[in-house]
């Protein structure tokens, strides 16, 4: 230990792990240094954890930090004497970093270095040599690369620990091949301090743009950072994002924040296709999706024409939104397909559940900047979210089925997990809790998003509650209508979203999320869903004190879902979020900090009073009722369709009176029309008659879907 260790904020261990005491007087400067040279591992309130890696050092050198400076600062801040072997590791890794550049000139790629022997050494590798157009001449400092093998070259160089820098001297580029983009940010736009910091890491004063990745929390304004980068580079720009809704949002934000004429912004989606006009002489911004560019099947003539244009043109900047999806096999070819001088990756969650995230460092470039979620929240740029995990007991019938599914000889092994998943998703108590939360928050005047990966439950629940839903089958026009109604109308306070709404949907008014079904242990999905309510909110007196947004993850107790939930939360916990856990909706009423009251505010909800108090419990629908309800539903849809009303918006009604069954007591064999259901084959056959459209070839799938239908009837009748 150093004698003055109490005044130093870091513990630096020999494997590169750094613990940082955030209560140090110079914490802000120390955090800036750590972000520049290492990767954040976890950042709760008092102690942060960082890791120095070869990639983080590469990013530091790319940002112009000198290796001896890194060592000096580490020695100065560490409470302990920094191990010499670790310092040697830093020197070794930094030796070759930043000396090799991959550049694009007149549509051709070149490998360049001031250090001729280093370039010789790299090109002597067989994998690298296979990517070159011709052999490197002795003493030469530049060699041409086969443009189709750029990805392979980057990988080979990365594997040899010689990361390639991709920089663009945009001020010196030729006007004839790459015309100027006449776009500037409007004078009313004020970039926030962290947005400016991110851009300053990308651009150096002498008009050079570096390729790399900027990590900002959801809702912190990555789109504006991307747009500002396009304006700064001032050449043709191509933006890739995940969905058509996101394409539209980018287009609207470009229009809102810049002076670019609308005709110079092109959206390329399944629904919008406009060839680039005067492509050689007039610069533009094109926005499209990964799937549009990555699709390998046959395309229509007009789409193919536009894609050929994209491939032939030279792009000043390629902006890759939600960059974490890029390493997927179908999308990574996009990076090679497009000839761009510089590439900016944007993301909130640099995590994937596979190992491919590391590939981004050579596919796109080093991480240039990463903001701290808690810091942005404290500065008022993000909402203050309370995360709550609501545990719901499985209903008896569902739990029996769940346990039996684990080793049922009737169910093929590969499908047991699917069946169990269907059961924990459709747990009646879970849906009951969801309804309770919707009612509670709607009454407070909140705007609620209910997330469900399970499409069946999403649609059915939304229809029965008379709320809009958006999933893959809802077309673009309708999605935009629903989103704008949610934003603007006080009559629409809850929408149901499938995973199409996980990211890149900007709904600033939303302040409550209820998650009822999700993709296993995906940390990225959890963080991105939370991101939908992170847009800053006004602090109101009714907002429950410190918090002004709520994220409920509703999970079925004693099932595998709890384990997945735990894994999902890891990323957010590392960003400093705490999950408060609590039991189902009856218990929620006891949470006085939230304002849940007993007796419940919703007088009309069956779940609000103990079951025994109802002399005449509401009747559940019979099979005939169910059939009739479905017919009425279809009729209503047809009627609305006739009036050009979108199907998913067909019923925006006040919440109907619901009749929940809390705990079906006595299963009625062979007859599901009463208060309970037994999942025997007879019952399922009956379902088949009622719900033909849910049947599929596989018996189990049918069973699973039968269960879904059953749960809905039982719960929501
Ligand atoms: N500097 C700024 N000034 C004013 N508004 C801003 C600024 N930066 C961002 N915003 C607004 O903040 C909102 C969120 O921005 P944006 O959609 O870009 O977030 P994001 O980081 O891309 O989020 P996500 O990851 O969820 O897609 C938008 O409404 C945007 O207009």
> Closest Cα to atom 7, ligand 1: which residue?
221
pLDDT at 134: 84
Give dist(CA 319, CA 240) in Å, integer: 6
Query: Do residues 472 and 614 share a domain?
Result: yes
* Residue 693 falls inside a structural domain: no
Residue 522 near ligand 1, beta carbon < 6 Å = no
Tell me how far the alpha carbon of residue 667 lies from the centroid of ligand 1, in angstroms. Answer: 52
Predicted confidence at residue 223, as pLDDT, reads 95
Of all protein residues, the one whose alpha carbon is nearest to atom 6 of ligand 1 is 221
SS3 434: helix
Give me ligand 1 centre to Cα 657, in Å.
38
- CA distance from start to end of the chain: 68
User: Whose Cα sits closest to atom 5 in ligand 1?
Assistant: 221
Residue of minimum CA distance from atom 2 in ligand 1: 191
Indicate which residue's Cα is closest to atom 23 of ligand 1: 219
| 216 within ligand 1 shell (Cβ under 6 A) | yes
Task: Establish if 110 belongs to a structural domain.
Answer: yes
Tell me the pairing of strands 203-204 and 208-210: antiparallel
User: For ligand 1, is residue 224 a contact (CB within 6 Å)?
Assistant: yes
- Measure 138 CA to ligand 1 centroid, in angstroms: 51
| Domain co-membership, 426 together with 347 | no
Block mean pLDDT (10 aa), the chain, length 717: 86 90 87 87 85 83 84 91 89 80 85 87 90 85 88 87 85 81 91 94 85 91 96 94 88 94 92 86 92 78 87 92 81 79 91 74 85 87 90 82 77 73 81 84 91 85 83 84 89 89 79 89 86 77 65 90 87 82 57 44 30 30 39 41 38 32 31 33 38 28 38 31
Strand, coil or helix: 490: coil
Nearest CA, atom 28, ligand 1? 221
> Is residue 128 domain-resident?
yes
75, 182: one domain: no
Q: Is the pTM of this model over 0.90?
A: no
- How far does the centroid of ligand 1 lie from the alpha carbon of residue 215, in Å? 13
**Is 688 strand, coil or helix?**
helix
223 CA distance to ligand 1 middle (Å): 6
Q: Domain for residue 30, yes or no?
A: yes
Residue 383 and residue 535 in contact, taking contact as beta carbons nearer than 8 Å: yes
- Select from 194, 199, 218, 219 the residue to mutate for testing ligand 1; criterion: most ligand atoms less than 8 Å from CB: 219
Candidate from 223, 487, 533 with most ligand 1 atoms within 8 A of CB, to mutate: 223
Measuring from atom 22 of ligand 1, which residue has the nearest CA?
A: 222
Give yes or no for residue 544 CB within 6 A of ligand 1.
no
Q: Which of 110, 175, 177, 120 is nearest to 145 (CA)?
A: 110
Residue 487 lies in a domain: yes
503 lines ligand 1 (CB under 6 A): yes
618 plus 568 within the same structural domain: yes
Nearest alpha carbon, ligand 1 atom 26: 218
Q: Give yes or no for residue 319 CB within 6 A of ligand 1.
A: no
Distance in angstroms (rounded) separating the CA atoms of residues 320 and 289: 10
Backbone angles phi, psi at 75, to 5 degrees: -65, -40
Q: How far is residue 102's CA from residue 82's CA, in Å, rounded to a whole number?
A: 35
Ligand 1 binding pocket includes 185 (Cβ within 6 Å)? no
The CB of 524 under 6 Å from ligand 1? The reply is no
Question: Helices 699-716 and 455-465: crossing angle, nearest 10°?
Answer: 20
Q: Is residue 381 part of a domain?
A: no
Question: Quick check: CB of 506 below 6 Å from ligand 1?
Answer: yes
Question: Of 37, 63, 93, which residue sits at a domain end?
Answer: 93
CA 516 to chain centre: 17
Of residues 609, 39, 92, 83, the one with CA closest to residue 358: 39
Cβ–ligand 1 contact at 188 (below 6 Å): no
489, 569: one domain = yes
Parallel, antiparallel or unpaired: strands 108-113 and 142-145: antiparallel
Residues 48-96 have pLDDT tens digits of 899 998 878 887 887 778 889 999 999 999 998 988 888 998 888 887 7
Strand 468-470 relative to strand 237-241, pairing: unpaired
Q: Is 442 in the pocket of ligand 1 (CB under 6 A)?
A: no
Is residue 400 helix, strand or coil?
helix
Do 355 and 393 have their domain in common?
no
504 lines ligand 1 (CB under 6 A): yes
Q: Which domain holds residue 67?
A: 5-93
Q: Is 422 in the pocket of ligand 1 (CB under 6 A)?
A: no
CB of residue 349 inside a 6 A radius of ligand 1: no
Alpha-carbon distance 653 to 472, whole Å? 23
Q: Does ipTM top 0.95?
A: yes
Query: What is residue 161's predicted lDDT score, i.e. its pLDDT?
Result: 81
From residue 311, alpha-carbon distances to 148, 237, 339, 366, 387 in Å are 12, 13, 7, 25, 45
Pair 420, 563 in one domain: yes
Q: Is 226 in the pocket of ligand 1 (CB under 6 A)?
A: no
The reply to whether 208 and 306 lie within a common domain is yes
Ligand 1 pocket check for 191: Cβ under 6 Å: yes
Residue nearest to atom 8 of ligand 1 (CA): 221
Residues 352 and 397 in one domain: no
Contact 580, 387 (CB under 8 A): yes
Interval between CA 217 and ligand 1 midpoint (Å)? 10
SS3 of 524-550: the string is HHHHHHHHCCCCCCCCCHHHCCCCCEE
Which of 320, 339, 371 finishes a domain? Answer: 371
322 within ligand 1 shell (Cβ under 6 A): no
* 24 belongs to a structural domain: yes
Q: 174 and 153 in one domain?
A: no
Looking at the fold, whether 454 and 529 belong to one and the same domain comes out as yes
Q: Which atom of ligand 1 is nearest to the CA of 191?
A: 1
Q: What token pair was written down for 528?
A: 């991105």
**Cβ contacts of 301 within 8 Å, gap of 6 or more:** none
* 664 touches ligand 1 (CB under 6 Å): no
Among protein residues, the one whose CA lies closest to atom 25 of ligand 1: 218
Strand order across the beta sheet in which 468-470 lies: 468-470, 494-497, 448-452, 512-517, 549-556, 385-392, 579-583
The ligand 1 atom at the shortest distance from the C-alpha of residue 192 is: 1
Q: Is 314 helix (H, G, I), strand (E, B) or coil?
A: strand
In the reported structure, the alpha carbon of residue 219 is separated from the centroid of ligand 1 by a whole-number distance in angstroms of 5
Q: Which of 317, 346, 371 is the last residue of a domain?
A: 371
Is 16 a domain residue? yes
Alpha-carbon distance of 143 to 127, in angstroms, equals 15
Beta bridge partners of 169: 208
The maximal CA–CA distance of the chain, rounded, in angstroms, is 95
> What is the number of structural domains in the chain?
4
CATH number at residue 247: 3.40.50.300
What is the atom index within ligand 1 of the atom nearest the CA of 347? 25
| CA 498 to ligand 1 centroid distance, Å | 22
Residues 468 and 604 in one domain: yes
Ligand 1 geometric centre to CA of 536 (Å): 10
Distance CA 336, CA 346 (A): 18
């Amino acid at each position: 230990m150093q004698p003055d260790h109490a005044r130093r904020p870091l513990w630096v261990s020999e494997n590169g792990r750094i613990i940082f005491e955030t209560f140090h007087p110079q914490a802000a400067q120390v955090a800036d240094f750590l972000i520049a040279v290492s990767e954040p591992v976890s950042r709760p309130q008092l102690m942060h954890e960082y890791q120095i890696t070869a990639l983080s050092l590469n990013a530091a050198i790319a940002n112009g930090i000198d290796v001896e400076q890194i060592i000096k600062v580490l020695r100065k801040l560490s409470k302990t004497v920094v191990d010499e072997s670790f310092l040697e590791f830093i020197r070794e890794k930094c030796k070759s970093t930043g000396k090799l550049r991959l550049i694009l000139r007149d549509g051709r790629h070149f490998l360049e270095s001031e250090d001729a022997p280093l370039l010789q050494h790299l090109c002597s590798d067989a994998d690298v040599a296979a990517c070159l157009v011709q052999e490197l001449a002795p003493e030469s400092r530049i060699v041409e690369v086969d443009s189709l093998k750029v990805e392979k070259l980057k990988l080979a160089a990365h594997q040899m620990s010689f990361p390639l820098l991709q920089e663009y001297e945009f001020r010196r580029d030729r006007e004839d091949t790459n015309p100027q983009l006449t776009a500037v940010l409007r004078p009313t736009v004020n970039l926030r301090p962290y947005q400016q910091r991110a851009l300053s890491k990308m651009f150096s004063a002498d008009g050079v743009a570096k390729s790399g990745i900027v990590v900002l929390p959801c809702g912190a304004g990555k789109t504006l950072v991307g747009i500002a980068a396009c304006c700064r580079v001032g050449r043709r720009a191509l933006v890739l994002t995940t969905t058509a809704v996101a394409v539209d949002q980018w287009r609207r934000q470009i229009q809102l924040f810049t002076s670019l004429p609308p005709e110079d912004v092109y959206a390329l989606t399944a629904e919008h296709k406009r060839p680039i006009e005067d492509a050689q002489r007039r610069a533009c911004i094109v926005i499209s999706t990964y799937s549009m560019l990555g699709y390998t099947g046959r395309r229509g003539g007009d789409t193919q024409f536009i894609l050929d244009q994209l491939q032939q043109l030279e792009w000043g900047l390629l902006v890759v939104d939600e960059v974490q999806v890029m390493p997927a096999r179908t999308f990574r070819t996009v990076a090679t397909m497009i000839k761009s001088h510089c590439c900016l990756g944007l993301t909130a969650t640099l995590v994937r559940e596979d190992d491919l995230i590391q590939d981004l460092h050579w596919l796109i470039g080093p991480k240039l900047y990463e903001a701290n979620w808690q810091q942005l929240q404290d500065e008022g740029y993000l909402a203050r979210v309370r995360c709550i995990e609501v545990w719901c007991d499985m209903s008896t019938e569902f739990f029996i089925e769940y346990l039996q599914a684990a080793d049922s000889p009737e169910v093929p092994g590969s499908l047991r997990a699917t069946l169990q998943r269907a059961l924990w998703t459709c747990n009646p108590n879970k849906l009951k809790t969801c309804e309770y939360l919707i009612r509670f928050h709607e009454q407070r005047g909140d705007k609620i998003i209910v997330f469900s990966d399970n499409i069946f439950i999403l649609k059915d629940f939304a229809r029965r509650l008379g709320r809009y839903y958006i999933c893959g089958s809802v077309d673009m026009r309708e999605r935009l209508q629903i989103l704008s109604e949610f934003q603007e109308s006080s009559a629409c306070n809850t929408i149901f979203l499938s995973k199409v709404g996980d990211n890149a949907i900007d709904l600033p008014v939303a302040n409550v999320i209820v998650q009822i079904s999700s993709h296993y242990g995906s940390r990225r999905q959890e963080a991105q869903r939370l991101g939908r309510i992170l847009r800053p909110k006004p602090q109101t007196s009714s907002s429950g004190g410190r918090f002004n947004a709520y994220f409920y993850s509703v999970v079925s107790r004693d099932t595998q879902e709890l384990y997945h939930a735990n894994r999902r939360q890891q990323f957010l916990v590392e960003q400093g979020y705490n999950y408060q856990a609590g039991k189902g909706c009856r218990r929620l009423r006891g949470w006085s900090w939230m304002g849940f009251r007993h007796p419940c505010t919703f007088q009309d909800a069956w779940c609000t009073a103990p079951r025994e108090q109802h002399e005449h419990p509401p009747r559940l629908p019979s099979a005939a009722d169910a059939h009739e309800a479905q017919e009425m539903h279809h009729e209503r849809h047809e009627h609305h369709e006739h009036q050009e009303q979108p199907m998913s918006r067909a019923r925006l009604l006040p919440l109907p009176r619901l009749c929940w069954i809390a705990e079906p007591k006595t299963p009625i064999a062979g007859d599901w029309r009463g208060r309970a259901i037994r999942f025997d084959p007879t019952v399922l056959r009956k379902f088949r008659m009622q719900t033909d459209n849910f049947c599929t070839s596989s018996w189990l799938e049918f069973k699973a879907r039968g269960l879904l239908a059953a749960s809905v009837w039982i719960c929501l009748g």
